[in-house]
Amino acid sequence: MKIICIGRNYAEHAKELGNQIPDEPVIFMKPETALLASGQAFHYPSFTRQLHYECELVVKISKNGKNIPVENAGQHYQEVTLGIDFTARDVQDKLKQKGLPWEKAKAFDQSAVVGEFVPWESISNPADIHFTFLKNGEIVQEGFSSLMLHTIDGIIAHVSQFFSLEAGDLIFTGTPAGVGPCAPTDHLEAVLEGRKVLSVMVA
């Protein structure tokens, strides 16, 4: 399986990092070794002093496909959850300045935390999914999927032009504004339409 991530998919987040709003999705990937299940401890990496959380809606691909038309994209997923795209922001800033790929800052071990999946049919408002992210019990990020620049179906159509999608692949759909630092002993939680689907301790 592979983990495909979308960058700069919310205008307010692109602005907070001083990035331009792109015309087409910014895509990067993480390897399977980046996966961390909810409930496990996340170990703060030694190579960064500025670890940021980015809470994102995560879609699990349920059916293989290539060049998927946007109108058929809904047939390729049945479950959704929240995840954390952990980012070594100091490392990423250096790579960005040099125009280099982001993998060292984004694709390290445990950098893709994935919550418990919920069936797509159980989502009460699929056109505007609401989610919140808490650090030590305080809400630090709030997302509404209607603010995504590229919809889930649009992302699947776009991404599948370049990469075949396979059942089990995960798509991180980008973070809303409010990204920020975390440190050892922090407790991170994510709530999808009122259901707590993710809980991680930073060690």
Contacts with 98 (C-beta within 8 Å, 6 or more apart), sequence order: none
Task: By CB under 5 A, tell whether 52 contacts Zn ion.
Answer: no
Alpha-carbon gap, residue 89 to 93, rounded angstroms: 6
Tokens 């919809």: give the residue.
Answer: 151
Which single residue brings its beta carbon nearest to Zn ion? 85
Asked if 129 and 145 touch (Cβ cutoff 8 Å), the reply is yes
- The 3-state DSSP class for residue 111 equals coil
- Neighbouring CB atoms inside 10 A of 128's CB total 11
CB of 71 to Zn ion, least distance (A): 27
Round to whole Å and give the CA distance between 104 and 3.
Answer: 15
CB of 110 to Zn ion, least distance (A): 15
The residue from 14, 85, 157, 202 that contacts Zn ion (CB under 5 A) is 85
Q: Which of 119, 57, 65 is nearest to 82 (CA)?
A: 57
Minimal distance in Å, beta carbon 25 to Zn ion? Answer: 12
Instruction: Please state, in angstroms and as integers, the Cα–Cα distance from residue 65 to each residue in 3, 34, 162, following that order.
Output: 15, 23, 11
Structure-block tokens of residue 191: 């709530």
| Binding residue (CB under 5 A) for Zn ion from 171, 175, 188, 197 | 175
Position 131 contacts Zn ion (CB under 5 A): no
What tokens does 60 get? Answer: 């699990």
Q: Does 53 bind Zn ion (CB under 5 A)?
A: no
Segment interacting with Zn ion, rule: CB under 5 A, options 14-22, 53-61, 71-79, 195-203: 53-61
Stretch binding Zn ion (CB under 5 A), from 11-19, 38-46, 85-93, 112-120? 85-93
Stretch that binds Zn ion, among 12-20, 34-42, 48-56, 150-158 (CB under 5 A): 48-56
**CB nearer Zn ion, residue 85 or residue 153:** 85
Stretch that binds Zn ion, among 30-38, 49-57, 89-97, 150-158 (CB under 5 A): 49-57
Minimum CB distance to Zn ion, residue 84 (Å): 9
| Interface contacts to Zn ion, rule CB under 5 A | 54, 85, 175
